[in-house]
Amino acid sequence: MSSAVVTITERVRARIRADGADLRGGGGVAERYVLDEIQRYSERALGGSLPMLADERDAARQVLAALTGYGPLQPYFDDDTVEEIWINAPDRVFVAREGVPELTGVRLTESQVRELVERMLQTTGRRVDLSSPFVDASLPDGSRLHVVIPDITRRHWSVNVRKFTQRIRDLRRLVELGSLSNPGAEFLRMSVLAGVNILVSGATQTGKTTMLNALLAASRPSQRIVTVEETFELSVPAPDVVGMQCRQPSLEGTGEVTLRRLIKEALRMRPDRLVVGEVREAESLDLLIALNSGLPGMCSIHANSAQDALSKLTTLPLLAGRNIDSSFVLPTVASSIDLIVHCELDRHGMRRVSEISAPTGAVVGSAIPVQRLFTRVDGLLRATGALPPRREKFDAAGLDPALVLRDDG
């Protein structure tokens, strides 16, 4: 940001404070202040007392970004090719495009980083301070913000923004991008229509939330979908949707709303499908109980493979208390989870489905065997020729998965 732009920005801020103007109401208020002050600056510059502006339109854009947007980061928010933005230090600002990180030339100050975070949190009702040094929040455009401050971090504020993208809205788009095959997409569409319970697994940044959104886009329009998340990330393109997110405790330590509480509340809201953004801890028990009652559901989980995802889901419910043991959890998981969709991020930054598997429903020792239905062969997602071990839900919906599960290798 040039010295001229900094000068104009400070003058606009001073006028806004003096006039008591509210820029949040829209209506072009900020634009009028900016254009007015740029005109005044240019008139003084013509007199020789100030340096000339190289490009008045670009200067106006920068000043507006500083006032109502995210300052030097705004161009990356506006760039659809940028998937993620993160700040390790004021002079270490990174972005990721197609899964590949790059160091930008942006240089901020400590105060600018704090101002940016405060502006991002302004509409979320969440806070970050010494008593609460972490924060997760959903920005107005649906992007997810995560911040950690010292003394949890060594010196600087750590800021991460995972941008919300509307590029991928359904299974067909995943096929176009090469993340999924046509037979795989058609089978997943059948599975959603049949009301099977789907577990989406993968490491971080592999596209689990994107996959959940695409799966939900295949739901019947008449279905009532209730989603619960730590922070809003899902964007469900359906007519009857209720989304809920957790709430942090107040400064007094009260008012916290956990994922476990949200799952229990969701069951009272007449859902046709329950979706949990991600299970990490004891809330997995509440989800399993809901699925075991016959309610169709979906969720995501961090795991290295479909089999690992299933194993992890048999372990997490044990965190709910001493009265929960594997003799209850193992058969519940085996009977509740119908399908596992495993996502991966390859070394080229390509997000793709690497495996679609179905638990057999049996328990062998301390493990739940799975049947692979699709797997990657020579880089392509191909059907193995196997059929889901349990097809009752497909039969009840009048759907035949055998039509798309023939071996196409």
Please write the tens of the pLDDT for every residue from 91-123: 999 999 888 899 999 999 999 899 899 888 887
Q: Of all helices (H) and strands (E), which one includes residue 85?
A: strand 82-89
Q: Is the pLDDT of residue 230 over 60?
A: yes
Question: pLDDT digits over 331-373, tens only?
Answer: 999 999 999 999 999 888 889 999 999 999 999 988 999 999 9
Same domain, 183 and 283: yes
Confidence class for position 32, pLDDT limits 50, 70, 90: confident
Q: Is residue 409 part of a domain?
A: no
110/187 same-domain check: no
307 within domain boundaries:
yes
The residue among 164, 187, 206 that closes a domain is 164
pLDDT at 50: 82
Q: Answer left, alpha or beta for residue 180, where phi above 0 means left and psi between -120 and 50 means alpha.
A: beta
pLDDT in tens, 123-133: 787 888 888 89
Task: Verify that 238 and 358 share a domain, yes or no.
Answer: yes
Which amino acid is present at 226? V
When comparing pLDDT for 119 and 273, which is higher?
Answer: 273
Is the pLDDT at 167 greater than 80, yes or no? Answer: no
Block residue for tokens 């941008």: 163
- Do 297 and 149 share a structural domain? no
- Asked if pLDDT for residue 178 goes beyond 80, the answer is yes
Q: Are residues 107 and 177 in the same domain?
A: no
What is the reported pTM? 0.80
Same domain, 215 and 300: yes
Asked which of 68, 95, 126 is the last residue of a domain, the reply is: 68
CB 86 within 8 A of CB 161: yes
- In the chain, the percentage of residues whose pLDDT exceeds 70 is 97
Mean pLDDT of the region 197-219: 94
Q: Number of folded domains in the chain?
A: 3
Considering the domain boundaries, does residue 408 fall inside one?
Answer: no
Give the range of the structural domain holding residue 341, as residue numbers without chain letter.
171-403
- Pair 42, 78 in one domain: no
The reply to whether 297 and 321 lie within a common domain is yes
Per-residue pLDDT at 47: 80
CATH number at residue 80: 3.30.450.370
Do 87 and 24 lie in one domain? The reply is no
- Residue 361: inside a domain: yes
Shared-domain flag, residues 6 and 61: yes
pLDDT attached to residue 353 = 97
Which of residues 22 and 388 earns the better pLDDT score? 388
Q: Among 133, 164, 195, identify where a domain stops.
A: 164
Q: Give pLDDT tens digits for 279-304.
A: 999 999 999 999 998 999 999 999 99
Q: Rounded mean pLDDT of the chain?
A: 90
Residue 89 domain flag: yes
Query: Is residue 399 domain-shared with residue 292, that is, in the same domain?
Result: yes
pLDDT of residue 212: 95
The pLDDT of residue 24 is 58
Q: What is the pLDDT of residue 387?
A: 94
Give pLDDT tens digits for 306-338: 999 999 999 999 998 878 888 899 999 999 999
340 touches 372 (CB < 8 A): no
64 falls within a domain: yes
Query: Domain check: are 179 and 323 in the same one?
Result: yes
pLDDT of residue 1: 60
Q: What is d(CA 184, CA 207) in angstroms, rounded to the nearest whole number?
A: 16
Q: Which residue has the higher pLDDT, 253 or 356?
A: 356
Under the banding of pLDDT at 50, 70 and 90, the label for residue 85 is: very high
DSSP 72: G
Q: What angle do CA 358, 194, 305 make, to 5 degrees?
A: 25
Residue 40 has pLDDT above 90, yes or no: no
Assign residue 260 the CATH number of its domain.
3.40.50.300
Give mean pLDDT, residues 369-385: 94
User: How far is C-alpha 75 from the geometric centre of its chain's CA atoms?
Assistant: 21
Bridge partner list, 273:
225
